[in-house]
Amino acid sequence: QVQLVESGGGLVQAGGSLRLSCAASGRTFSSYTMGWFRQAPGKEREFVAAINWSGRNTYYADSVKGRFTISRDNFKNTDLQMSSLKPEDTAVYYCAADRTTAQGMSVTEPDYWGQGTQVTVSS
């Protein structure tokens, strides 16, 4: 069982940066691939980025590649560093965990989800 709690959302101007954090609880955190998804108003939830259990493999959606960086530590934290933010990045961002590959998380429904944190980018 894995429980996830996101933090770090907020309001930022276009071109700015924001760092999201996900704190996981549970003994088997280190064996899970961790990822971030987002859902904008009126749109379906979409994959953003994922990092495998070892931290060696990452995978990004094309829309954020080169602007967002996902990382994790050996304890229970997974971060998403977001730079060069655009108004279209505005969404609720969700942390997720699953026993799959980083690329696999982009096409599967993760087993565990956080409650989400709001990110708003003003133009």
Instruction: Quote the CA–CA distance of 93 and 107 in Å, as a whole number.
Output: 17
- Rounded to whole angstroms, the maximal C-alpha distance in the chain is 42
pLDDT digits (tens, 9 = 90+) for 67-102: 999 999 877 899 999 999 999 999 999 999 999 999
Place of tokens 């730079």: 83
pLDDT digits (tens, 9 = 90+) for 6-49: 999 999 999 999 999 999 988 777 889 999 999 999 999 999 99
